[in-house]
Amino acid sequence: NKGMMRKEIAFYSVQFDEQMIESEQLKRSVEQALTNDEIVPFFQPKVNINTREIVGAEVLARWITREGRLRSPAEFIPLCEKTGLITELDMIIFEKTLAFLRMNLDEKVPCVPISINFSRLHLLDDGFFDKITRRIHQYNIPPELIEIELTESAIFDNHEIISEFTNQLHQYGLQISMDDFGSGYSSLNMLKDIPIDVLKIDRAFLEETSDSKKQRVILSAIAHMAKRLDIRVVVEGVETIENVNLMKEFGCYIAQGYYFAKPMDEESFGKIYKEGIL
């Protein structure tokens, strides 16, 4: 019996070492990917469900390896968050998005806002505001074309600093979007101190449940609250016509989800962006 236990312990520690080595390797290859320009923006349209007009888009990072393999954020974002590489990654995606907007503005495309995910780590950096406004200025982009997506956990972290930060960004003209609303810490409290323009309702709220009456009460309360606070609502993860109908029921009409469009590369998205409609 004792022998077996020892063997198990040995097994776990080998596995642990392997995990360490693996994440070290992953870290190095992400660093390389960042320098070699292998991390690129994909874009997912936000659509008006009644008119199918494109009212915005979210930019999502993808890693295209040198072998041409597409890697999703789940494979590298957590590591980037842990190691701090995320701030560099976000700035790269941000810069490429500004270049995309500049190109479209030059071509006289009637541009709609693009939202960018910024890790909570930026919010601990005093230089963040200057860093991003300097870039926006350099590319000469109207700030209202840029939406900053923050997650609830970011805001929960350090309420006062975040409130000051977001107010500064908002005053500059950027749109503030609360990502994954209702999935995390759910501090409704933040709604009173943070200048939120957009609430993104988490996909979890659309999932089929055994009690659809409860689901409806919750969705209707969020929709009603947002309306009263003059906050726009985007529903994420819209996959089915049932989801769309549920949205209509509550007067939410901006959807982001596979039912309308998946995230796509810059070239494919560029065409849709110019047309302005799906």
Task: By CB under 6 A, name the binding residues for ligand C2E.
Answer: 44, 60-61, 72-74, 77, 86, 90, 93, 117, 119, 179-180, 236-239, 256-258, 263
Partner that binds at residue 90, options ligand C2E, Ca ion, none, CB closer than 5 to 8 Å by kind: ligand C2E
Interaction partner, residue 113 (ligand C2E, Ca ion, none; CB < 5-8 Å by kind)? none
The item of ligand C2E, Ca ion, none sharing an interface with residue 19, based on CB under 5 to 8 Å by kind, is none
Return d(Cα 121, Cα 84) in angstroms, integer: 8
Task: Look at residue 77 and give the partner it binds from ligand C2E, Ca ion, none, a contact being a CB closer than 5 to 8 Å depending on partner kind.
Answer: ligand C2E
Please report the DSSP string for the chain in residue order.
-HHHHHHHHHHHHHHHHHHHHHHHHHHHHHHHHHHTT-EEEEEEEEEETTT-BEEEEEEEEEEE-TT--EE-HHHHHHHHHHHSHHHHHHHHHHHHHHHHHHHHHHTT-----EEEE--GGGGG-TTHHHHHHHHHHHTT--GGGEEEEEEHHHHHHTHHHHHHHHHHHHHHT-EEEEEEETTS---TTHHHHS---EEEE-GGGGS--S-HHHHHHHHHHHHHHHHHTT-EEEEE---SHHHHHHHHHTT--EEESTTT---B-HHHHHHHHHHTB-
Q: Which residue, 170 or 216, has its beta carbon nearer to Ca ion?
A: 170
Q: Closest CB to ligand C2E among 6 and 262?
A: 262
Choose among Ca ion, ligand C2E, none what residue 88 binds, the Cβ cut-off being 5 to 8 Å by kind: none
Of the candidate spans 63-71, 119-127, 177-185, 260-268, the one that interacts with Ca ion by CB under 5 A turns out to be: 177-185
Q: Which is nearer to ligand C2E, 34 or 225 (CB)?
A: 34
Shortest Cβ distance from residue 64 to Ca ion (Å)?
A: 20
Based on the shown chain and the rule CB under 5 A, indicate whether residue 90 belongs to the binding site for Ca ion: no
* Residue list 148-167, contact with Ca ion (CB under 5 A): 149
> Which one of 106, 211, 230, 267 is in contact with Ca ion (CB under 5 A)?
230
Provide CB contacts within 8 A for 228, sequence distance 6+. none
Among 90, 147, 152, 179, binds Ca ion (CB under 5 A): 179
Among 44, 150, 180, 190, binds Ca ion (CB under 5 A): 180
User: Binding residues for Ca ion, per CB under 5 A?
Assistant: 117, 149, 179-180, 197, 230, 236
